[in-house]
């Protein structure tokens, strides 16, 4: 089926050819048809979403449209707080928990009239690259139900790729928006760190996490980013800048744009030749449109994965200490004392991958190991950031593969290290706080391949403009999965 874009939905609303109620009904109907096979959603808001849609239609009838997303159905990743709704993070330890407030990004989305129709599955506490590590079970890729949609925002990506909604929110700590976008043929963006408030995003690694959009087009991502970005006094890491104005810059084209091609990203061991072929095809398209390419070097790239998995696990160990069974969420029954209650609640509540990362993080922060591991990782992080600063002295954006391969099969990455290496192209942007975007650039073996665009800090609009220019020249983003058999979950 043709997959709608937000731009198309807005145009139909403006012309009176559809209503928000119709769009929401279509989203909920589509979810009921295909989600039993995909597992993209952990909850839907049927009655509440229909009430929100009716309110949006009433505003439109009065000529009081709140934003370009007014009346448009969206899905939220299940680590974003929404008042009165369950907030599970794919974990047993938050069983039964309901949020008492809206995350800032969610509040801005709802103030703009967007209609939240459901919550998307995810790797537990965003720790994973496949959306297999969830108490709700795995999410499956709409392009091939035997394959992963990526992670940890795989539910958000699958919901968009399957045509349930045209737009979803995810979070990206080391590639958790961009890698699922690559695997499912979408545009997914991690904004500059601090562009979007993290207030109400359940923290995995506080210096790395960032909220961002998943959609079919860069234009749709720009619409959402412009709505949810901007300073938030409730988030100490929020940048002082106002909201982005990405839409205003979308049509600038790429004539004269200087694109850097990091040699380390094209020489990574294990990258599929077909992926590099599709990325080089994308380079050729942009060059034909007037962009100039130049080779650059990011010599510390080889240390990025090790650096990331020290910094991220250390911060996870600290952040997840609050989930102890004492204040909210699941509590072990029948414990003899407080210590046993803590131990059993955490042992029973956390899954294997989360436990692994907590243990790693606790180790690298422990006395006698802090300097050797965590402090050293922060020093390497500085070197990575300086590599990017030097590269951007001679170019405007960088272009790389997003992932070393198309979507892998569910269960294929049983070894944790092989799963971690799925993020080899994406973690550096989080460590350096850069804006990064993945967009589809073709197929390999019938599966989507993504190309990544990275920009210097605060160049979010430039990254989106580059992606938009490419999408105006190609039709890869219009490719759709085969019809989904609702009984085909395997």
User: Which residue numbers are catalytic?
Assistant: 77, 152, 176
360-368 contacts at long range (C-beta below 8 A, 24 or more positions apart): 360/309, 360/310, 360/313, 360/317, 361/312, 361/313, 361/314, 361/315, 361/316, 361/317, 361/318, 362/317, 364/310, 364/313, 364/314, 365/314, 365/317, 365/318
Expressed in angstroms, the distance from the first to the final Cα of the chain is: 22
Are 436 and 423 contacting, i.e. CB atoms less than 8 angstroms apart? no
Nearest to 352, CA basis, from 306, 416, 410: 416
Calpha distance 339→260 (Å, rounded): 54
Peptide bond into 152 cis (omega under 30): yes
**Are the CB atoms for 69 and 166 separated by under 8 Å?**
no
Phi/psi of residue 480, each to 5°?
-130, 155
- Coil, strand or helix: which one is 4? coil
Q: Residues 6 or more apart from 37 whose CB is under 8 A from it? A: 140, 145, 484, 485, 486, 487, 488, 489
- What is the helix, strand, coil percentage profile of the chain, to 5? 45, 15, 40
Closest residue by Cα to residue 453 from 252, 272, 254, 305 = 254
């Amino acid at each position: 089926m043709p997959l709608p874009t937000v731009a198309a939905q807005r145009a139909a609303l403006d012309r009176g050819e559809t209503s928000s109620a119709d769009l929401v009904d279509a989203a909920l109907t589509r979810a009921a048809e295909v989600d039993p096979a995909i597992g993209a959603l952990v909850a839907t808001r049927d009655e509440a979403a229909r009430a929100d849609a009716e309110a949006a239609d009433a505003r439109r009838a009065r000529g009081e449209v709140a934003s370009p997303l007014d009346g448009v159905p969206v899905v939220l990743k299940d680590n974003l707080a929404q008042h009165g709704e369950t907030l599970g993070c794919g974990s047993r330890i938050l069983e039964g928990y309901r949020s008492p407030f809206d995350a800032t990004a969610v509040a801005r989305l709802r103030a703009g009239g967007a209609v939240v129709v459901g919550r998307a599955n995810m790797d537990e506490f965003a720790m994973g690259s496949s959306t297999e590590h969830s108490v709700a079970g795995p999410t499956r890729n709409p392009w091939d139900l035997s394959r992963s949609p990526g992670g940890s925002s795989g539910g958000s990506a699958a919901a968009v790729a399957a045509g349930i909604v045209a737009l979803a929110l995810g979070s990206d700590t080391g590639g958790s928006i961009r890698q699922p976008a690559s695997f499912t043929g979408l545009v997914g963006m991690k904004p500059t760190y601090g562009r979007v408030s993290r207030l109400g995003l359940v923290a995995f690694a506080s210096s790395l996490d960032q909220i961002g959009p998943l959609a079919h087009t860069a234009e749709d991502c720009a619409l959402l980013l412009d709505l949810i970005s901007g300073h938030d006094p409730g988030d100490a890491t929020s940048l002082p800048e106002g909201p982005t104005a990405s839409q205003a810059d979308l049509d600038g084209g790429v004539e004269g744009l200087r694109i850097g091609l990091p040699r380390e990203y094209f020489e990574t061991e294990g990258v599929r030749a077909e992926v590099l072929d599709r990325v080089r095809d994308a380079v050729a398209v942009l060059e034909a449109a007037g962009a100039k390419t130049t080779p650059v070097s990011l010599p510390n790239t080889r240390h990025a994965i090790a650096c990331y998995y020290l910094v991220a696990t250390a911060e996870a160990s600290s952040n997840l200490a609050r989930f102890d069974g004492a204040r909210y969420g699941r509590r072990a029954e029948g414990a003899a004392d407080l210590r046993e209650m803590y131990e059993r609640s955490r042992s029973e509540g956390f899954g294997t991958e989360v436990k692994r990362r907590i243990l790693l993080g606790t180790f690298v922060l422990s006395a006698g190991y802090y300097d050797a591991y965590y402090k050293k990782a922060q020093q390497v992080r500085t070197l990575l950031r300086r590599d990017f600063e030097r590269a951007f002295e001679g170019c405007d954006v960088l272009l790389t593969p997003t992932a070393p391969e198309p979507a892998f099969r569910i269960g294929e990455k049983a070894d944790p290290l092989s799963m971690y290496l799925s993020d080899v192209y994406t973690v550096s942007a989080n460590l350096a706080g850069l804006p990064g975007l993945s967009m589809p650039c073709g197929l390999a073996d019938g599966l989507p391949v993504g190309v990544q665009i990275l920009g210097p800090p605060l160049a979010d609009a430039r990254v989106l403009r580059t992606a938009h220019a490419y999408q105006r020249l190609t039709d890869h983003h219009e490719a759709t999965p085969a019809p989904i058999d609702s009984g085909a979950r395997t």
